[in-house]
Amino acid sequence: MYFCIRNMTLKKMYIVCQWLLSTTVSLWASPLTATALQPPPPYSDTIVVQGCDSVWSHNTFFFADTLLSDSINTDTILYTFVVVHPSYLRVDSVNVCDNYTWLETGFTYYASTQKTVTRTSIDGCDSICQLVLNLRHSTTSSNEFSGCDSATWEGLLFYYPYGSTSYAFVIDTTLSLTNAQGCDGSKSLHLTLYPSYQDTLSATSCDEYTWQRTGQTFHTSGFFRQDLPTTHGCDSSSILILTIVHSYVHEIRDSFCIGSTYQFYDRTLTHGGSYHQDYVSAVWPYCDSIEVLILYQLQRPQITIEHSFDCDSLKHYIGAGTPVSYHRWSAEPPDPRLDEHVSDFWIRVNPTVPTVYTFYADYKEEETCPSSKQITILPITRPKAVIESEPSVLTPKRPMLTLRDRSSNASWREWFIDDQFFSYAVAPTYTTNFSSDSITILLVAHNDFCTDSDSVYIRVINETLWIPNAITPNQLTNNRFVIQGDGIASFSIDIYDRRGIQIFHSNNIEDSWDGTYGGELVAPCNYMYYITYTTEAQPRTILRRRGAVLVIR
């Protein structure tokens, strides 16, 4: 069993089927040609009926089943299929975008058109197919423009990217759209953004610098600004911070001391004068230059130092003089009392140990031509003069005096006798000449700062008696027997003749014998004398002298 349906929608098929199921058709009244097919399975039969257009005005097909009974009362179902093949006019109205391929012809159309095609089906029915094509087009557009810093297109905002090193930033993008005809469309953008910028350039150059931004050439250092539009109309500004290092003659004036050296590049200078050196700067931009040295040779500053001291206060006074402006004191070992007076010309010190004070002088505070002078200051001590002498009285038997210096804190001494300088020795000796009855010994004890003195009084006693050995009573001279002596404390004299008669006696050394006895001149001959006496040096010791005196007429 089969049937053919062409160009029929499912909806139509459903309607036909409903209609066929509800209708009983008499096959014998139809002008259709019936074709018997293979019988269906037992108790059924099928008849297929085909035709074009005029069989039914409804231009449809249907099938029916009929229940029949045979002679033996067996039920048989008769299935009848009616196939209607239309000859028809079909119109395809199509609205599409850009192009359409019609299956009836297999052609692709790119513009609106109307086409008609006649076809004969395999069932022999003629049909007409018509295409009514309304073709709409998709649209594309391309936009190309430029801007400064940013631009807006189709609601989209584009920026020149921060930190870009490119002078021109190019953006290519495509936007998909639906056009007014309902077709897909696209817009392409080719955008070039140029920056409006402010840039700062720091540059260092020798002698001159050409600013590439503006083409200007500068010969001095400075801060420069240039406002200018770019070639694409974007307002911009540029700042140049410029340092110009000139290739120049650099003059240096300096000094050094006589007796020292001065280093100028690889040369060691010993005299003042003018020197030059070609050189290249050690730092960027390495400019060629000439350095000229004007060198002065200085005398070292002169220093004078004065020193005094006061034995009463035990203080030293030190004064320094110099023609230069920078000066200072130092002490070794350090003297903390010097700190407040380190720049004074005069200082007052009282060190407890030997201290070296140094006075420095220079032309400047930094060392240029230093000079110094030192003085060693010892602690001040007062000497104590003490004399030791032996004996305490000088006599003819002990005419030599021994002196000894027993002073303390003294480094040297001076001896004076009766205000006359005598000796520097520690233990000098002195022998009297008995020219005076006393002498004064003075000792002056010295140290480096102070003096002291001590004195002693020494008696000089001449114990020698002078006794003449002859007299001439009747002459103008030497006519008395006169005894002289020094340092005599007591005296007694007796004179005897040959017979032992005492002819003269006296207890006073000042008395003298005139050569008479009883008022008469004695006879010329020798007369014996006996003398007893004591001295001032030894008043308790009795001394005796005897001898003869010759009387001459």
Backbone φ/ψ region at 354: left (φ over 0), alpha (ψ -120 to 50), beta: beta
Among residues 553, 407, 543, 396, the alpha carbon closest in space to that of 473 is found at: 553
How does DSSP classify residue 475? S
User: Does residue 550 contact residue 525 with C-beta atoms inside 8 Å?
Assistant: yes
- Over residues 54-73, the mean pLDDT reads 46
Stretch among 68-72, 200-204, 517-521, 537-541 having the lowest mean pLDDT: 68-72
Mean pLDDT of the chain: 80
Half-sphere exposure of 465 (CA within 13 A, CB side): 24
Give the separation between CA 436 and CA 353, rounded to whole angstroms. 48
Q: Give residues with Cβ within 8 angstroms of 275, minimum separation 6.
A: 264, 267, 269, 292, 293, 295
How does DSSP classify residue 28? G
Q: Give residues with Cβ within 8 angstroms of 273, minimum separation 6.
A: 295
Give the separation between CA 378 and CA 448, rounded to whole angstroms. 8
Q: pTM of the full predicted structure?
A: 0.37
User: Does residue 262 contact residue 302 with C-beta atoms inside 8 Å?
Assistant: no
DSSP string of 399-412, one letter each residue: -EEEEEE--BS-SE
Stretch among 31-35, 39-43, 333-337 having the lowest mean pLDDT: 31-35
279: helix, coil or strand?
strand
Select the more confidently predicted residue: 163 or 92: 92
How far apart are the two ends of the chain, measured CA to CA in Å? Answer: 236
Place of tokens 């040295």: 293
Place of tokens 């021109």: 168
Give the pLDDT score at 486.
Answer: 77
pLDDT band at 3 (very low <50, low <70, confident <90, very high): very low
Among residues 231, 126, 79, the alpha carbon closest in space to that of 168 is found at: 231
Q: Which amino acid is at 323?
A: P
Is-cis flag, bond preceding 333, omega within 30?
A: yes
| Tens digits of residue pLDDT in 463-507 | 778 899 999 998 888 899 999 887 788 999 999 999 999 999 999
Give the pLDDT score at 140.
Answer: 83
Residue 288 has pLDDT above 60, yes or no: yes
336: helix, coil or strand?
helix
Give the pLDDT score at 59.
Answer: 42
Give the separation between CA 318 and CA 335, rounded to whole angstroms. 14
Give the pLDDT score at 294.
Answer: 92
Dihedral sign, CA of 159, 162, 166, 167? positive
Give the pLDDT score at 34.
Answer: 41
